[in-house]
Amino acid sequence: MTTPVIQVGHASVGYDGRPVLRDVSLTVAAGEVVAVLGANGSGKSTLIRAVLGLVPLGTGTVTLFGVPQRRFRQWHRIGYVPQRLGAGSGVPATVREVVASGRLARRGVLRPPGRADRA
């Protein structure tokens, strides 16, 4: 059996003492396509942000490629395009440009996109 790409175990996250996620567990294997669905405010973005370490877990664990998230250093293996980019409200961008922003950690800011980036 291969190591999961993402593994979340019994995670809980809250903001200002208010719980947003409670006892969430998730395993994503290499090659799987996963959709996180739910109503507005149900914690979808919070789950993704917790997996990436952008918001702290109250309880539980997250591993990326078998490595505990706190020790994970191979961020070039992860692509993340947030719902709202900081400059997005006033700067027009194509879909390609927004998606390409998720590849910046892999290719670097000053290098032009290569064949893999365009694919």
Give the total number of structural domains in the chain.
Answer: 2
Please say if the pLDDT value at position 6 is more than 90: yes
More confident residue, 78 or 107: 78
Mean pLDDT of the chain: 86
Same domain, 56 and 93: no
Please say if the pLDDT value at position 93 is more than 80: no
Supply the CATH number for residue 10's domain.
3.40.50.300
Asked if the structure places residue 26 within a domain, the reply is: yes
pLDDT tens digit sequence for 34-86? 999 999 989 999 999 999 999 999 999 999 999 999 999 998 888 887 776 55
Same domain, 19 and 63: yes
DSSP symbols for the chain: -PPPSEEEEEEEEEETTEEEEEEEEEEE-TT--------TTSSHHHHHHHHTTSS--SEEEEEETTEEGGG---GGG-----SS-TTTTTS---HHHHHHHTTHHHH-SSSPP-HHHH-
